[in-house]
Structure 1
Amino acid sequence: MSLRITQNSMNRTQLAGLNLSQGRLQQTQEELTTGKRLNRPSDDPVGTVQALRFRTEQSQLAQFGANITDGLSRLQASDDALSQANAMVQSIRSSVIQAANGTLGPGERKAIAEQVRGLREGLLQQANSQYAGQPLFGGTTPEDNAFDVDGTFQGNTLPVLRQVSDSPGDAGQMNVGVNGQEAFGDALVKDTGALDKLAAAIESGDSEGIKDGLGDVDALRENISNVQSSVGVRSVRLAALEKLNGRQDDAATIALSKVEDTDFLKAAMDLSIQSNAYQAALSASAKIIQPSLMDFIR
């Protein structure tokens, strides 16, 4: 049994073909206009899933990058404070050596003692340095300062952690806190601390007390230097992670672009081909589709 092809069926076929050709042309025009190959999930379901994955990766890397930047800034602030503290301790040591000269009179010894007490106050200020409203050397303490006004440590030794990579467990975290107790100990405590005891020994001319105080000053300087070295090691590691994070973000951006961005050269060629095809289809359809009665009435 043969099928009878009517004029109406031919017309419907031609119109369906024209709509399909026009749809392709419109999609290509949209790609060129928006610069995106994926404008809706239906454009490429697989590509859409890949694009979502890359965007999630970019968002995660951006958060890691922010954490790394924050950690570096905090460690830099800690390093600056420790450098200032080390300079003050060196000044104290110079004063102690000067005070060890047995030829100094009471007035000179008192002046040196006051200098040591003033430097102790300066060290206390450095030990209470803050970053973003939080004490640098107080761990996770909710207190405003790591050390009380009398020099007593009131912080804690808990780590201040930042998530800096997607590595599992501790490998993906970095402690950006600095242990104030480890750096300054009890040297800053008023009256009973090493520095105030040293100042009293200088003022009274106690040579044995001055000698013991010099040892305490050297120990304080060594503690601060050791903590500062730890800060430097962590800063170097974070700087390396910052570079790695940047390279990973660049790679994710390139991969996302390949998935969802328009290949303008190819799209322009496609637009030209599809436009010519559509015009040819219109010309052919005009010859095939018969005039209606209305055309004759005109």
Structure 2
Amino acid sequence: MALRVTQNMLNSNMLRNLHKSMLNMDKMQQQLASGRKINLPSDDPVVATRGMFYRSSQMENDQYKRNASEAMSWMDLTDKTLDEVGNVMKRVSELLVYSGNGATSPDDLKTMGAEIAELKKHLGTLANQTINGKYIFAGTETDKAPYDENANGGKGDFINKNSSEVLLELSQNVFAAANINAQKIFNYPDNAGNMFKVLDNIIEELNNGRSAAQFQDEISQQYDNLLAERATLGARVNRIELIGERLNVQEVNIKELMSKNEDADIAEVITNLKTQEGVHRSALGAGARIIQPTLLDFLR
């Protein structure tokens, strides 16, 4: 049975095809304007899904970079603080050598004792160093000052006993400690014989007008231990720097994958748009032929 084709059918098909052609041109114009292959998830669900995955990976990588930066800030401040602690130890060692000079008067020894007392106060300030309001030598008890100037009968002492690590995630399931174990520095070799207690003994001897040169070995041990801990910290800093470089490389790779997945090939889009414009003009020409003269045109 033959199908009767009417003028309305021809007109409807022509309008539908013209509408489809205009939709294709609109899609290409949007790609050209936005520079992206898709503007809605429905344009290509596969590309959209991959884009979500890449963006999630980029957000994670950005957070890892922030964690690495925070860890570096902690370690940089820790190293600078320990450097100052080392300077205090060296100055105390110099004063101990001077105190062993037989020509040094009792008044001079008392003056040295006063200076070392001030150095001890400065050492307590260094032990209470903070970053963003957190004590860096307090283990995980970052809200409590590890050094109390009223402890030990008002002489001041390092009272913190927390040796836990402040861990930051620098990559998936890769953690690194941002802090150091301050017990190995300020409570070395133990709380009863730590650097503050040694300084108290030195100050007492000097205030009594006696030489404190006999404490040189203890101060040397404290200083050598400090250098060993700084070396360990330096090795950790090197590791964090390597992780930071790897995160930067990952960021570039993720952005490259995102670009390949989402960015439109502008040259290809322009070529396709021009081709579609030609198709559209041809469709308009064909449509003009489809609209035939009516019966009224023959009644003139």
Report the residue type matching 2:199 in the other structure.
L
The alignment status of 1:199 with 2:199, answered yes or no, reads no
Report the residue type matching 1:227 in the other structure.
E
Change (3 A) 1:272 1:62: same
Equivalent residue runs for 1:80-229 within 5 Å: 80-149=80-149, 150-154=156-160, 156-166=162-172, 168=173, 172-185=174-187, 186=191, 187-189=194-196, 193-204=197-208, 206=210, 210-211=213-214, 213-229=215-231
Q: Conserved in 2, the CA contact under 8 Å of 1:151 and 1:188?
A: no
Shift of 1:67: 0.5
Q: Conserved in 2, the CA contact under 8 Å of 1:65 and 1:164?
A: yes
Report the residue type matching 2:130 in the other structure.
Q
Shift of 1:153: 2.2
Partner of 2:47: 47
Partner of 1:38: 38
Equivalent residue runs for 1:249-268 within 5 Å: 249-268=251-270
Partner of 2:153: none
The alignment status of 1:74 with 2:74, answered yes or no, reads yes
Report the residue type matching 2:148 in the other structure.
D
Change (3 A) 1:296 1:224: farther
Partner of 1:233: 235
Unaligned runs of 5+ in 1: none
The alignment status of 1:276 with 2:278, answered yes or no, reads yes
Equivalent-residue separation in structure 2 for 1:95 and 1:293 (angstroms): 121
Q: Conserved in 2, the CA contact under 8 Å of 1:141 and 1:155?
A: no
Q: Give 3-state SS (helix, strand or coil) of 1:173's partner.
A: strand
Shift of 1:256: 0.7
Change (3 A) 1:173 1:294: farther
Bigger drift between 195-204 and 288-297 goes to 288-297
Change (3 A) 1:292 1:104: farther
Q: Conserved in 2, the CA contact under 8 Å of 1:202 and 1:210?
A: no
Equivalent-residue separation in structure 2 for 1:89 and 1:49 (angstroms): 60
Could you state the TM-score of these two structures normalised by the residue count of structure 2? 0.90
Unaligned runs of 5+ in 2: 150-155
Q: Give 3-state SS (helix, strand or coil) of 1:249's partner.
A: helix
Provide Cα deviations, 1:159-214, integer angstroms capped at 9, x if missing partner: 00111001x3xxx101011222211114354xxx111101222344555x531x21
Equivalent-residue separation in structure 2 for 1:252 and 1:155 (angstroms): 43
Equivalent-residue separation in structure 1 for 2:130 and 2:34 (angstroms): 48
Equivalent-residue separation in structure 1 for 2:257 and 2:77 (angstroms): 37
Equivalent-residue separation in structure 1 for 2:81 and 2:54 (angstroms): 40
Shift of 1:296: 9.3
Equivalent-residue separation in structure 2 for 1:11 and 1:143 (angstroms): 79
Q: Percentage identity across aligned positions? A: 26
Q: Give 3-state SS (helix, strand or coil) of 1:37's partner.
A: coil
Shift of 1:223: 2.2
Give structure 1 regions of 4+ aligned residues with deviation exceeding 6 angstroms.
293-297
Q: Conserved in 1, the CA contact under 8 Å of 2:109 and 2:209?
A: yes
